[in-house]
Structure 1
Amino acid sequence: MSSDAPPPLGERISGLFEPAQLMIWAMSHYFRVCTEAVFQKGQVLAPLLQTGRLRDEAFGRFWIEFSSTPARTAAIEPNSEDEANNAPVGSSALIPPLLKTASGVVLDIGPGTGTQMPLLRSPAIKAIYGAEPCAGLHAELRKKAASEGLAEKYTILPCGVAAAELVPALADVGVDVDSGGVFDTILCVRVLCSVPEMERTVRELYRLLKPGGRLLITEHVVNPWRTAKGSLAGRLAQAVYQFLGWSWYIGDCHLDRDTEKVLRVAAEGDGGWESMQLDRCFEWSAMPYLSGTLVKKSG
């Protein structure tokens, strides 16, 4: 179901341009990293021959700055900060009630710098494994785990979510997935937009869930412009940002993924999910969200 009403026209128009701020911010970091490589380190051909390394470094710097500056984060999300009481609203408000339900052995996909870690201090959580492929974020992630008292529970996996990387990384820390599901909870917060081969990745995540395990998601998705609450202008804005290089500068993020369809298909082999409780929000914008809980069948 859809859980929000469109704001006034002026705010909707403004919202179509808000992702541009994020893109320009990320671009500035990439050009700065390239400039440093050429003029400070003498790596003249690095922008041509080492684009992967430079992109990783630039995105790491950008994400550290982005995730540690709430006021600037608020500027690029629809209504994301209530200045009167500092309570998160907009897409930020979707996250706390969801993550506070996490329990058991948890897989945290793409934790970044650990901004969601304060929501994972429940004694119901036995262990947390954070799969973060961007090495430039690991130091901040470790620091956050220590500051939140989770250093003993939190294990960083230096890998992406693809099984070819994730399974060996889990084995290296003593987690055997050959027998099937090992996680009680899997967290996907603003991450499925950037994983490679999303359909295959979600199927692999489904396999890693224990029977009765829960997948908790908060993801921006393709604008459902053909529906009553969707927006053709929002969908066109998404296409423009993609064309201008959104994925290149924003860590392979995609604005146009039909995440709900992929999630449904992942469980088809078992006759579907036991339950899917999903809300769709901000369908009028260039960054509509899908948020909720999916439960794997117990048997």
Structure 2
Amino acid sequence: MSSDIPPPLGERIKGLFEPAPLMTWAMSHYIRVCVEAVFQKGEILAPILATRRLRDEAFGRFWVEFSTPAQNAPPPTTTIANEEDSPQPSKNAHGSSDLIPPLLKAANGIILDIGPGTGTQMPLLRSPSITAIYGPEPCVGLHAQLARRAAAEGLADKYYILPSGAASSELLPALRETGTGVVDEYERTGKGIFDTIICVRVLCSVPEMEKTVDELYTLLKPGGKVLVTEHVVNPWRTAKGSILARIAQGVYQLLGWSFFIGDCALDRDTESVLRKVADRDGGWEVVDLERSFSWTAMPYISGTLVKKSD
């Protein structure tokens, strides 16, 4: 599609409704989990007293289906992006998943793969230049499938599944528990642990995103890079943004998007947070971020940020 031609009206309208089937899908799992708890397990008050547990179980089931197309219909894809609005390696991207393969080709060294879910990105992380991968995944219901995927991809000997989130208060103890000594030098010098940090569809749901991103920046080695593909708040004030899509994001949030989709938020300004976190060092050495699908209720940023070397 020519960069001079905006997306057709039909594509713009479809972009407003993209989150709806995902939310309905996740909601159906939550209802099913609540019904099982009440009628099969006899936990009559579980929907009231154990909401967090039921939400985690339901989201785990949803995410397994969402990330395993063979078990279900493929998930909806984002509308076609125009060339100027997409990352350079993915000008013909039809969905957000198309942004990920060219991005992860740059991963190397010791990697932090934040929120790996069921491990759908593992086939892209088999480069011999990768020495170790640490995957903090707080949803323990996904760990079994994550372990199976690591074994299937031949990564079992260098993929470490961590039962933690991305916050340092959880992450560092989990890293110590691996027994690999990966945190030893960091504790001696404070100069970082990871050569590559991967953030794919995860910063939308981490608690206290600004604080977590700041901590991740600290854990990145000088010269290390962050590879990011994240859906963000619609840039409605720009020429390619959409005020209708921004309103739609707010409506989905009010209808319970975050509740059913693992604390995900559609309206985070993740790009600004990522850009600002390096200000204390005079900025990033390289910032190569591009926007895609800016007319939809799920616009994306994708690209690379490189920390300044010593």
Q: Same fold (TM over 0.5)?
A: yes
Give the counterpart letter for 1:279 in structure 2. Answer: E
Is 1:46 aligned with 2:46? yes
Matched letter for residue 75 of structure 1 = P
Q: Distance in 2 between the 1:64 and 1:199 partners?
A: 28
Structure 2 counterpart SS, 1:139:
helix
**Do residues 66 (structure 1) and 76 (structure 2) align?**
no
Q: Match of 1:123? A: 128
SS in 1 for 2:18: helix
* Cross-structure match for 1:75: 76
Q: Normalized against structure 1, the TM-score is what?
A: 0.94
Question: What is the DSSP-based 3-state SS (H/G/I as helix, E as strand, rest coil) of the residue aligned with 2:155?
Answer: coil
Deviations 1:202-233 (A, max 9, x none): 00110010000000000000001011111001
Identity %: 70
Is 1:113–1:141's contact at 8 Å kept on the other side of the alignment? yes
Give the alignment of 1:135-154 within 5 angstroms.
135-154=140-159
C-alpha distance after superposition, 1:162-194 (max 9, x if no partner): 111111111111321423201000000000000
Equivalent of 1:159 in 164, 169, 194: 164
Partners of 1:172 and 1:65 lie apart in 2 by: 30
Matches within 5 A, 1:112-261: 112-174=117-179, 175-176=182-183, 177-178=186-187, 179-180=189-190, 181-261=192-272
Secondary structure at the residue paired with 2:297?
A: coil
- Do the aligned partners of residues 58 and 74 (structure 1) sit closer, same or farther apart at CA in structure 2, a change above 3 Å counting? closer
Task: Please state how far the C-alpha of 1:5 moved relative to its aligned partner.
Answer: 6.1
Report the secondary structure of 1:214's partner residue.
strand
Q: Does 1:280 align with 2:285?
A: no
Distance 2:225 2:111 in 1: 10
1:92 Cα offset (Å): 1.1
Q: Compute the RMSD of aligned alpha carbons.
A: 1.7
Match in the other structure for 1:83: none
| Contact 1:21–1:76 (8 Å) recurs in 2 | no
Task: State whether residues 78 and 94 of structure 2, in contact with CA within 8 Å, keep that contact through their aligned partners in structure 1.
Answer: no
Query: Which runs of no fewer than 5 residues in structure 1 stay unpaired?
Result: 81-86
The answer as to whether partners of 2:104 and 2:125 remain within 8 angstroms in 1 is yes
Q: Is the 8 A contact 1:6 1:12 kept in 2?
A: no
Residue in structure 2 matched with residue 107 of structure 1 by the alignment: 112
Q: Under a length normalisation based on structure 2, what TM-score does the superposition of the two structures give?
A: 0.91
Give the letter for the 2:120 counterpart.
Answer: T
- The letter of the residue matching 2:260 is Y
Shift of 1:12: 1.1
1:250-293 CA-to-partner distances (Å, cap 9, x unmatched) read 00000001111101121111111111000111111100000000
Q: Which moved more, 1:160-169 or 1:62-71?
A: 62-71
C-alpha distance 72-185 of structure 1, shift in aligned 2 (>3 A): same
Distance 1:5-1:115 versus aligned 2 partners, 3 A rule? farther
Distance 1:260 1:91 in 2: 16
- How many residue pairs match? The answer is 291
Structure 2 gaps of 5+ residues are 82-91
Residue 101 of structure 1 deviates from its aligned partner by 1.0
SS for the counterpart of 2:272 is helix
AA at the equivalent of 2:166 = V
- Aligned counterparts of 2:94 and 2:218: Cα–Cα separation in 1: 33
